[in-house]
Amino acid sequence: MGISNIKTIFVSLLAISMVACASGSAIVTGTKRTPLEPSQVKLYLESPAKFEVIGIVNASSDAGWTEQGSVDYAVQELKNQAAKLGANGVLLGATGESTSTVVGGYGTGYMYAIPVTAKTVSGKAIYVSE
C-alpha cells in the first residue's frame, strides 16, 4: 500500500470522525410542557414517586473516541430530546448499539469499508412532581 493510499484512508477517517454526531427523536404520548434546559433533566433507573409520562425518547451516537464517549454523547442527546418536550427526567429503558458500514475510496481505484458502531439509549421522558 503506497503513501498516497495511506493518506487517502487517513483523510477519509478524519472526515468521518469530524461529521460523526449524536442524533435523537421523540414521540409525544402525553402533554408537552414548556421546554427546559437539558441540564435540568435527571436520569432515573427506577420510577420516582410522582411523575407523568410525556413521551418516548431515543438517541444514538458514534461520535466518541471511546465506547464510553459514544454513550456519553447519546445520553446527552437523550436529555436534549426530553428537555424539548419539557420533561425534567428520563426513565431509562434500553441501551445497545447498532453497526453500519461506510464505504470509501471513490476515485482512488480502491474500495474499502469502515464499520461504524453507534451506541443507542432510549427511555420515557417524564415530568417528576416534587
For residue range 83-97, list pLDDT tens digits in order: 999 999 999 998 877
Residues ≥6 apart with Cβ < 8 Å to 63: 20, 21, 22, 69, 70, 73
Specify the higher pLDDT residue, 111 or 38: 38
Specify the higher pLDDT residue, 117 or 51: 51
pLDDT for residue 59: 94
Specify the higher pLDDT residue, 66 or 38: 38
**3-state secondary structure (DSSP) of residue 7:** helix
User: How does residue 14 score in pLDDT terms, banded at 50, 70 and 90?
Assistant: very low
pLDDT for residue 36: 97
| Residue 48 and residue 89 in contact, taking contact as beta carbons nearer than 8 Å | yes
Specify the higher pLDDT residue, 45 or 102: 45
For residue range 58-77, list pLDDT tens digits in order: 999 887 778 888 889 999 99
pLDDT for residue 22: 84
pLDDT for residue 45: 96
- State which H helix or E strand residue 66 sits in: none
Q: Percent of the chain having pLDDT more than 70?
A: 72
Given a cut of 60, whether residue 128 has pLDDT beyond it is yes
Listed residue (111, 118, 122, 130) closest to 82, CA to CA: 122
pLDDT for residue 67: 82
| Residue 75 and residue 43 in contact, taking contact as beta carbons nearer than 8 Å | yes
**Backbone conformation region of residue 16, classed left if phi is above 0, alpha if psi is from -120 to 50, else beta:** alpha
